[in-house]
Amino acid sequence: MNRGVLEGVRIVDFTWAWAGPYGTLLLSMLGAEVIKIESSKRPDHTRVRSLKAGRMDTSSPDHSTIFADLNYNKLGITLNLSRPEAIKLAKRLIAVSDVVVENFRPGVLKRLGLGYEVVKKLKPDIIMLSSSALGGFGPQRNYTGYAPTFAALGGLTHITGYADGEPKTLMGSVDLRSATATAFAILAALNHRATTGEGQYIDLSSRESVAVLIGDVLMDYAMNGRSQGRMGNDDGISAPHNCYRCQGEDKWVSIAVTTEEEWQAFRRAIGDPEWAKDEKFADGFRRWQNRAELDRHVAEWTRERTHYEVTEILQAAGVAAIPSFNGEELYTGPHLKERSCWVQIEHPVIGRRTTLGPPWNLSATPGKVYRHAPLLGQHNDLVFGELLGLSDDEIEHLRKDGVMV
């Protein structure tokens, strides 16, 4: 057997930006048919904006590489949702679909006449997920945010950074974390539907999807009334446990020694130096207490070697070490090559693009990235014509009339 798990599952995707689209991209990798609804009146902002680079480029909706990387596999159609005819078409599409996903500000879709109460009448077993910054109800339901906002409000930013420095944020990856929660929730609902035939509505908060990733930090507050601060690479108990400079320009290796057995293995692997016999480093607690000095000794050893050499020596001894990889190394390194992580997809405007395949390997139902992100409105004929049965004339009329734009 070699087909996607979600083959036959159709998803109507109203999402834009990063968090929503990556969630549906994951589901498309598993075989779902994702139909992305956009409009030239309101194109997905990643078609024109790079939040990370703080840039925008409106010369074409089809040459954004960020959009390309977050929307593989999907079909793209255009509907101007401010027009009643467009809402009618969206309803027809939903009636033949399994899942609806959206990340408008809470309440917007309802005002457009596409709220869950309406949608479930069109398709009683529909699964609908709304993803928003802070959730669909509550006093701050209308507050908005981007990835760094979720990281800040979710408590992650406060605990990220050097121990002696300011808080630091992660960027777009935070959206993709929320997207992972989105895909998980939809799959849970699909499992429930498979066993009971019942659909449902899911209200997902991106900020909460960050907060659950620092559960132990929240437990510390629950237990001790303490708000943990920043610790750099430290985990509060282990040493060596840091990134150490290696030979070359801005090359670093991460080393984590957490048990006595690993410390002994580490010591032997680096040639049992005199300093390692010092009382100061005699047990785990003293190593951690004296970690600044310990780190200096370790760095003296790593500096003489490449981060690959350090990794090889320490891993052979059973010690956890790996380079702090840069973008080049993750593309050219031998391990990922052998695991065929990267795939190439031809895009009509951008050209050939190399991108990451699915993040997991399912032996019987492998996921895949197989089609370039849709050009704006690329699949109008396919979806409205073949799927919904509109004639060419009708489509042409709706296009000219500003409905299908």
Partner 1 sequence: MATNALEGAKVLEFAEFVSGPFCAKLLADLGAEVIKVERPLVGDSARRKGPFPQDIPHSERSGLFLYLNTNKKGISLDVGTALGKRIFLKLVQWADILIEDHLPQEMEEMGLTYGALREVNPRLVMTSITPYGQTGPYANYRAYNLNTFHAGGEGYTTPSGSVDVDREPLKAGGYLADYDCGFSAGVATLAARLAQVTMGIGQHVDVSKQEAMMAIQRVELSNYPNDGQYSTRGMRTGPIGGLLPCKDGYVMVTAAENHQWLALMDFLGNPEWSQAQHWKDEMYRSRHAAEIQPKLEEAIRQYTKEEIYHGAQAKGCPIGIVYDAEDIFNSTQLRAREFFCEVEHPEVGRLKYPTVPYIFSKTPAEIKSPAPLLGQHNEAVLCDLLGYSRQDLVKMRQAGIV
Q: Which of residues 126-145 bind partner 1 (CB under 8 A)?
A: 129, 133-145
Output the smallest distance, CB 13 to partner 1, in A: 17
CA pair distance 162, 159, nearest whole angstrom: 9
Q: Is 21 in the site for partner 1 (CB under 8 A)?
A: no
Using the minimum distance from each CB to partner 1, give the nearer residue, 8 or 84.
8
Annotated active-site residue in 62, 69, 98, 175: 175
Cβ-based neighbours of 53, under 8 Å, separated by 6 or more: none
The reply on whether position 33 binds partner 1 by CB under 8 A is no
- Report the residue from 85, 95, 122, 160 that binds partner 1 according to the rule CB under 8 A: 160
Closest CA to 229 of 135, 304, 165: 165
Q: Closest separation between CB of residue 245 and partner 1, Å?
A: 7
Q: Considering the complex, what minimum distance in angstroms separates the CB of residue 188 from partner 1?
A: 4
CA atoms of 323 and 248, how far apart (whole Å) = 12
Report the residue from 74, 83, 123, 177 that binds partner 1 according to the rule CB under 8 A: 177
- Please pick, from the candidates 107, 113, 167, 402, the single residue that binds partner 1 as defined by CB under 8 A: 167
C-alpha dihedral (189, 192, 198, 199), degrees to nearest 10 = 0
The answer to whether the CB of 5 falls within 8 A of the CB of 187 is no
Give, in order, the Cα–Cα distances in Å from 120 to each of 88, 117, 127, 254, 378. Answer: 15, 6, 8, 51, 28
CB-nearer residue toward partner 1: 369 or 403: 369
Give yes or no for residue 168 binding partner 1 (CB under 8 A).
Answer: yes
CB of residue 310 to partner 1, shortest distance in Å: 12
Nearer to partner 1, 279 or 335 (CB): 335
Full DSSP string of 8-47: T-EEEE---TTHHHHHHHHHHHTT-EEEEEE-TTS--GGG
Which part of the chain contacts partner 1 (CB under 8 A), choosing from 43-51, 280-288, 370-378, 396-404? 43-51
Q: Which of residues 72-131 bind partner 1 (CB under 8 A)?
A: 116, 129
Interface with partner 1 includes 181 (CB under 8 A)? yes
- Least distance in Å: CB of 273 to partner 1? 21
**Sites for partner 1 among residues 188-247 (CB under 8 A):** 188-192, 194-196, 198-209, 211-233, 235-238, 241-245
Quote the least distance from Cβ 119 to partner 1, whole Å: 12
Nearest CB to partner 1, comparing residues 245 and 280: 245
Q: Do the beta carbons of residue 16 and residue 39 sit within 8 Å? A: no
Give the side-chain half-sphere CA count within 13 A for 152: 12
When asked if residue 372 is in the footprint of partner 1 (CB under 8 A), the reply is no
User: What are the φ and ψ backbone dihedral angles of 353, each rounded to 5 degrees?
Assistant: -130, 135
Shortest distance (Å) from residue 47 CB to partner 1: 13
With beta carbons less than 8 A apart as the criterion, state whether 388 and 86 touch. no
CA angle 305, 309, 311 (to 5 degrees): 120
The whole-angstrom separation of Cα 323 and Cα 312 is 10
**Rounded to an integer, what distance in angstroms lies between the CA atom of residue 78 and that of residue 57?**
20
Amino acid identity for residue 109 in this structure:
L
392 belongs to the catalytic site: no
Q: Is 326 in the site for partner 1 (CB under 8 A)?
A: yes
Any contact of residue 264 with partner 1 (CB under 8 A)?
no
Comparison of 64 and 380: residue with beta carbon closer to partner 1: 64
- CB-wise, 170 or 388, nearer to partner 1? 170
Residues 59, 64, 67, 73: is their CA dihedral positive or negative? positive
Interacting residue with partner 1 among 73, 78, 254, 302 (CB under 8 A): 254
Choose which of 95, 118, 122, 176 interacts with partner 1 (CB under 8 A): 176
Beta carbons of 54 and 140 less than 8 angstroms apart:
no
Place of tokens 């083959």: 7
Phi, psi of 180 (to 5 degrees): -65, -40
Alpha-carbon dihedral angle through residues 394, 397, 398, 404, given to the nearest 10 degrees: 110
* Between 45 and 92, CB nearer to partner 1: 45
> Quick one: 199 or 374, whose CB is closer to partner 1?
199
Q: Name which of residues 328 to 347 contact partner 1 (CB under 8 A).
A: 328, 330-331, 334-336, 338-339, 341-342
Of the candidate spans 64-72, 89-97, 381-389, 393-401, the one that interacts with partner 1 by CB under 8 A turns out to be 64-72
* Catalytic residue IDs: 175
